[in-house]
Structure 1
Amino acid sequence: MNAQQPLSGGRADRVRDVVRVLVAEFAPDETPILDSLAQSSDARALRRLQRKTRRREPLGFGVGDLLPLLTPVLWIAVTKAIEIAVEGGTKSLWRKIRPKPLEVVSPMTPEQIKEACRLVQAELIDKGFDEARAAAIAEALRRRLRQGDPGGGAVEE
């Protein structure tokens, strides 16, 4: 069997697949957000989620300012965390070679998984999610990413 086996049944997961699993578990009411992005490439969906709302809100702020939505935060955080964990210190060089965002989640080493989950957890806390929920989401992400670990080994804490 190939050491670079994909996460799910013969094909590599995309970032959107990983995010969908986590949103279904932790914020199922946000699945319409994912559904609205279904026709977009992962790169375009990421750009749409990163874009600041420019519309004028009657109160000067939107719902997202009151209550953070998990879907956009998670999609952006997972993409960035996996890129950083996999690329290590070569981000600027890698960006010149591959300027568009990561779409396919390749198998990762236990250390890369641990780093990606740490970064996602920190980003969730930074965006206003409580520590317990951020830790639970990071743990679910760790389980999901380990599905692509060829050895299926435990990540040392």
Structure 2
Amino acid sequence: MRDVVRDVVARVAPEELPLVEALARFDDATVVRRLGRRGGRREPLGFGLGEIAAMVAPVVWLVVDETARQIAAAVATGATTGTRTVMRRLLRRPDAPVTVPELTREQLAEIHRRVVESAVQRGLGGERAAVIADAVVARLALAGPGEEAQGPPGPESTAGSGTPAQG
């Protein structure tokens, strides 16, 4: 999931990559909890979360995480999942990283809708929200299970300069 977030943010809002990298030091549950909060409380990231309300990274991270968890929960049996959770807590092991399974067209369409809705709620314009949602769906559709596929090349990779984009 983190690869999806990083790839999409790099494509549509590369200026937010430092935020993604700062959040990468936390486990998925902590990141989701921090990004899901509203308000201006100061955080160890060096700024209040209220300041990132209109940013791309929280929208992508929260929607992809929520979707991956919902799909995983639908696939897993309740008893097995409950047992794993209890054992992790007893053994004080961190939760496994959230992974995004292969998605159907309907699931991709739902993710697109959720990203647009979430982006608009967080203050991003409708057109910007659609661009973000398109990037998320493209990245998810191009990566099979267990792959770290990259989306189609962005403008920075087709410049022909032979050097990586600065960022």
Deviation by residue 1:32-73 (Cα, 9 ceiling, x = unmatched):
111112222222222232244434xxxxx95346xx122122
In the TM superposition, what are the counterparts of 1:12-31 in structure 2 within 5 Å? 15-31=1-17
Instruction: State how far apart, in whole Å, the 1-side matches of 2:109 and 2:144 are.
Output: 12
Is contact 2:116-2:132 (8 Å) kept? yes
Structure 1 equivalent of residue 159 of structure 2: none
Structure 1 equivalent of residue 160 of structure 2: none
AA aligned opposite 1:132: E
Give ranges in structure 2 of 5+ residues lacking alignment: 43-48, 86-94, 146-167
Q: Number of matched residues?
A: 126
AA aligned opposite 1:124: A
1:132 aligns with 2:145: no
AA aligned opposite 2:20: L
Is contact 2:27-2:97 (8 Å) kept? no
Structure 1 equivalent of residue 34 of structure 2: 48
Instruction: State how far apart, in whole Å, the 2-side matches of 1:144 and 1:35 are.
Output: 19
Among candidates 93, 104, 111, match of residue 116 of structure 1: 111
Q: Aligned-pair distance for 1:74? A: 2.0
Give ranges in structure 1 of 5+ residues lacking alignment: 1-14, 56-60, 151-157
Is contact 1:106-1:148 (8 Å) kept? no
Is contact 2:69-2:98 (8 Å) kept? no
Larger radius of gyration: 2
Change (3 A) 1:81 1:54: same
Change (3 A) 1:64 1:38: closer
Is contact 1:117-1:142 (8 Å) kept? yes
User: Taking structure 2 as the reference length, what is the TM-score of the superposition?
Assistant: 0.61
- Which one has the bigger helix percentage? 2
Structure 2 equivalent of residue 153 of structure 1: none
Change (3 A) 1:24 1:114: same
Deviation by residue 1:73-123 (Cα, 9 ceiling, x = unmatched):
221122123434x26989xx69x7476697111111121111112111111
Change (3 A) 1:101 1:139: farther
Partner SS for 1:136:
helix
Q: Aligned-pair distance for 1:136? A: 1.1
